[in-house]
Structure 1
Amino acid sequence: MNKWTLFKKASRFGVIPVMLIPIVLGSVGAYVWEGTFHPFLFGITFIGGAAAHLFSNMVNDLWDFRNGTDVEAERTPDIVTTNSGFLSRGVLSERTFAALTWSLLAVAVLCGALLSVYSGSEILWFVAAGALIAYFYVAPPLRFGYRGMGYSEAAIFAAFGLMPVLGSYFVQTGQFSMKPVLLSLPVGLLTTLLLFNHHFLHWKADQQAGKRTLVVVWGERKALVFSRILLYLSYASLVVCVLLDVLPFYALLALLTAIPPVHVYRGLQQHNASPAYLPLMGASLQASVRCGAIMAAALLVQAFI
């Protein structure tokens, strides 16, 4: 494969919209509520956010490989692996993979440094927090993604909801507000749902490797109940945003994006084979991206009318 295809596969480039949509939301919110939009700063934020997300994907693979989790996943029959497979299958050397991983972090830090010059040094707290969350999600000594006490879910919500929405809003306005915090709830919770649901694909391998995700701790049946609750909370927060005038009423059209995952849940049993969760993953990804896109479009419509 060519280098670009290799990079996309190694970094799992296809899921990058779950980071870019929150950045768009925060920037659109700044334009609608404060009347300010700086294309250059938006572009730098966009590039930095993309690099940070891809770094998160790759450092996760790097340490899951070092911790033996991905190797165990390859050995466990009848499960679906979610890592890129570039390390566990020997496609790339660990040294090459690590160099590419840290290069992405360097791009994200450089973008953060540029933004701090134009928007304020406070943005560096977002850069530092994002880097630490991404690294210690799987790296020792913290490895909070392995601890199964809700730490990883809280981290995902912060990294893919609160921080990109509030951070991109700050970049544009130079100030903080409760509105972007509330705006981050639906997409942040839906992305948390997406990351939670992906554990169903390989929870038995995680159990063997000592990775105590909530699916491992609670078991499949209870984790499925929580998954549904998280979906309902996500869309309830959308309604709250409308009621508090953060979003216009026609943003409620985003509720329609809940239909595909609800349909998938109805086809699942209390215990399912690993591949049965692939449609749930696809529906969760679509719900997160489409809901966020409709929210951003609704805000733009509000601005122009």
Structure 2
Amino acid sequence: MLKQLCGVARLNFLSLSLLCVALAATASWQAGQGLSVGSLLLVTAIALCAHISVNALNEYQDFKSGLDFLTKRTPFSGGSGTLITYPEAAYPALWLAVISLLLVISGGLYLSYQLNWQPLLIGIPGVALIYGYTRYVNRWPLLCLLAPGLGFGVFMLLGSYWVLAGSISAGAWLLALIVTLLVSNLLLLNQFPDVEADRQVGRRHLPIVIGRRHSASVYTLLLLLSYLLLIAGVISGILPWQCLLGLLSLGLAVKLLPGLFRYADKPEQLSRYLGLNVLLCHLYPLLLLAGLLWAGPA
């Protein structure tokens, strides 16, 4: 059963949560704030539990709705397929989602007791997003586009920074917005292979509503906006100039975008570009993190 629970938790994708917390911690350190090891470990645990909960709940609900039986899986989209192979693991998957979510709530309440109540302004909507993402959010195209990014960029990264630094800075907001755009793009592109299957179960995300090719244009716009925010942040002095290391990720974008438009309506040939997108979504924040380390404490 452990193997099945690891499958529905999608352990191979949890690196994104670790990266968000690491970026928040580095930004807090670079801003001159002392880091509490206990607080860092706790926010890391909360982030991982939140990610596990939304993954496991997604796997359970997609299995129960029948979507798993319609989806053509790729290494980056369509779920893990664990419950198709092991249907007896469906209710353990649900319990994993519930217990993980309860741990998120407990950890958040403990932090609010130890620090102050204000981070709950981020925590409460975050919990609501975990619960409602698969069942409700996927029926509202614009919300479905932005929700994944808000989950990782605002609720996770900005929330972690708030706990670690004790306040929110303009630099933290900029980093959160950049990650919001990247992760929204990550999920947007991963929806391309699932259009036909998702339509059959009532979903209404952007590739269904406006088509894959127009969604590729939205992807390009969000990616461009993330780089413009980075440049504006450096020019204004909100971010140290060393964060321009993030522009090195443009090499991946240059490889990705032509293939995305070429094969937008041929999802069976998109797998390579889905992989490049996952790599971009990790490399760009890692380069920002390296830039903050290079800059050193303010």
Please report how far the alpha carbon of residue 225 of structure 1 lies from its aligned counterpart in structure 2 after TM superposition.
1.5
Please report how far the alpha carbon of residue 17 of structure 1 lies from its aligned counterpart in structure 2 after TM superposition.
2.3
2:117 — aligned with what? Answer: 121
Please report how far the alpha carbon of residue 98 of structure 1 lies from its aligned counterpart in structure 2 after TM superposition.
0.7
2:160 matched to 1:168?
A: yes
- State whether residues 24 and 158 of structure 2, in contact with CA within 8 Å, keep that contact through their aligned partners in structure 1: yes
2:264 and 2:162 mapped to 1: Cα distance? Answer: 44
1:23 — aligned with what? Answer: 21
Structure 1 residues 207 and 171 mapped into 2: Cα distance closer, same or farther (>3 Å)?
same
1:238 and 1:128 mapped to 2: Cα distance? Answer: 29
The percent of aligned pairs where both chains have the same amino acid is 24
Give unpaired runs (5+ residues) of structure 1: none
Q: Pick from 77, 91, 103: which aligns with 1:95? A: 91
2:295 — aligned with what? Answer: 302
1:79 and 1:214 mapped to 2: Cα distance? Answer: 21
2:241 — aligned with what? Answer: 249
1:63 — aligned with what? Answer: 61
TM-score, with structure 2 as normaliser: 0.91
2:189 and 2:264 mapped to 1: Cα distance? Answer: 14
- State whether residues 69 and 205 of structure 1, in contact with CA within 8 Å, keep that contact through their aligned partners in structure 2: yes
Note the alpha carbon deviations across 1:243-289, whole angstroms, 9 max, x for none. 22232222212112132233132134264432322222211111121
- State whether residues 65 and 88 of structure 1, in contact with CA within 8 Å, keep that contact through their aligned partners in structure 2: yes
1:44 — aligned with what? Answer: 42
- State whether residues 73 and 205 of structure 1, in contact with CA within 8 Å, keep that contact through their aligned partners in structure 2: yes
Q: Which stretch of structure 1 is more off in the superposition, 83-92 or 95-104? A: 83-92
Q: Which stretch of structure 1 is more off in the superposition, 291-300 or 65-74? A: 65-74
Aligned residues: 297
Please report how far the alpha carbon of residue 47 of structure 1 lies from its aligned counterpart in structure 2 after TM superposition.
0.8
2:118 and 2:210 mapped to 1: Cα distance? Answer: 38
Note the alpha carbon deviations across 1:135-189, whole angstroms, 9 max, x for none. 11122xxx121222x1112222211102222211211232233331112122221
1:235 aligned partner, one-letter code? Y
2:186 — aligned with what? Answer: 194
Please report how far the alpha carbon of residue 92 of structure 1 lies from its aligned counterpart in structure 2 after TM superposition.
3.7
Q: Pick from 260, 266, 285: which aligns with 2:278? A: 285
Structure 1 residues 92 and 282 mapped into 2: Cα distance closer, same or farther (>3 Å)?
farther
Q: Pick from 119, 125, 132: which aligns with 2:128? A: 132
Please report how far the alpha carbon of residue 81 of structure 1 lies from its aligned counterpart in structure 2 after TM superposition.
5.1
2:276 aligned partner, one-letter code? A
Q: Which stretch of structure 1 is more off in the superposition, 120-129 or 231-240? A: 120-129
2:140 and 2:166 mapped to 1: Cα distance? Answer: 36
Structure 1 residues 39 and 175 mapped into 2: Cα distance closer, same or farther (>3 Å)?
same
Q: Pick from 79, 83, 89: which aligns with 2:79? A: 83
Q: Pick from 100, 104, 123: which aligns with 1:104? A: 100
Give unpaired runs (5+ residues) of structure 2: none
Please report how far the alpha carbon of residue 11 of structure 1 lies from its aligned counterpart in structure 2 after TM superposition.
0.9
